[in-house]
Amino acid sequence: MTKAVKEHLIKSLASGTFVSGQLLGEDLGISRTAVAKHIKVLTEIGLDIYSVTGKGYKLAHPLHLLEKDKIISLLALETNKQTMKQNDLPLIEVHSLIDSTNDYLMRRLPNQVTSGQVCLAEYQSAGRGRRGRQWISPFGSQIYLSMYWYLEQGLSAAMGLSLVTALAVSDAVKAHSNVQVQLKWPNDIYLDGVKLAGILIDLEGQALEPSHCVIGIGLNLHMPVEAGKLIEQKWTDLQSHSKVKIDRNGLSAQLIGCLRQRLQQHQQVGLAPMLEEWHAHDAFLNKRVKLITGERITHGICRGVNNQGALLLEVDGQVKPVYGGEVSLRMDE
């Protein structure tokens, strides 16, 4: 399926009204049978399209595509409010189809990226979650965003970055929709006790030498029914909880702005000044939890996080820090 055919079909259907298969075929110079095959490919990447004999094809919901120029202008507006310079704006790329926004930026290290550079995509064919899991990435209904951040002081400066990022997501969601999320150590954002978004951080470099970091955010906005069936854990999406209509371009601009602010704050003063905010929205604070490391399960009480981003886990009256890695934290039912 050529990119031109795909983009023409998507733009033709984006308004959410019926479009005749014959008309689409005439526009593209292909048969109605070929149109039907291309539509099938679009449904496989998460577009909820149905057909009615005599009427044609229709999206279940109108599609509001990401627009680079709109995101940049919204970000510039917000930047001016904060009296930052216009030339402080990051480089932003928006892709229709990509394997993974994180992988895209990682492939460009070290010389083809600038600190704060952003990659957004409508669809990921190989989106990644933590611990090698697939991140279900249906087309045009969520936010898949990655940002490159230069770590001048080496990989040691990456400690706590997942918490900083989670706070940035909380800031952006609150500002855009007036919905308050909960934060779950080390990489998740919850809403009413169910996963709303995830964070994936890729690092490259040495402990004490200038290094590279790519921060990925996957945020569920309006999950298509069929795509939702593919997710193995409980999930929710923001539109289900928001009284305002979610604007993907507006929220993307908010995320970029809030993430840059939090990363700059972390670079200057570290994690310690943000701990109070984290604990105010910690989903598991002072609750019984279980920490899963491979086959091993440790039961305890979550006592928050420390200024290095470690989980504080109380076991038998002793509080010990647990650093990230191949671990999973869950409520102890």
Say if domain 68-279 classifies as CATH 3.80.30.20.
no
Q: Is 195 a catalytic residue?
A: yes
- Kindly state the average pLDDT of the residues 64-69: 92
pLDDT of residue 332: 85
pLDDT of residue 67: 93
Query: In 10 A of CB 225, how many CB atoms?
Result: 9
- Kindly state the average pLDDT of the residues 5-26: 89
Evaluate whether 1-59 and 68-279 have a shared fold. Answer: no
Query: In 10 A of CB 208, how many CB atoms?
Result: 11
Helix H or strand E segment including 67: none
pLDDT of residue 136: 72
* Look-up of token digits 């399209």: 49
pLDDT of residue 85: 55
pLDDT of residue 59: 92
Can you name the CATH fold of 284-331?
A: SH3 type barrels. (2.30.30)
Domain ranges (residues) in the chain: 1-59, 68-279, 284-331
Give the contacts of 266 (CB within 8 A, at least 6 positions apart). 160, 161, 164, 274
Burial of 173 (0-12, 13-18, 19+ CB in 10 A): buried
pLDDT digits (tens, 9 = 90+) for 297-325: 999 999 999 999 999 999 999 999 998 77
Active site residue: 6, 70, 108, 195, which one? 195
pLDDT of residue 46: 74
Distance from C-alpha of 194 to C-alpha of 18, rounded to nearest angstrom: 35
Say if domain 1-59 classifies as CATH 3.40.50.620.
no
Mean pLDDT of the chain: 90
pLDDT digits (tens, 9 = 90+) for 196-216: 999 999 999 988 888 999 999
Task: Give SS3 for 26.
Answer: helix
162 annotated ligand binder:
no
pLDDT of residue 289: 96
Q: Is 330 a catalytic residue?
A: yes
Active site residue: 58, 130, 184, 248, which one? 130
- Kindly state the average pLDDT of the residues 66-70: 94
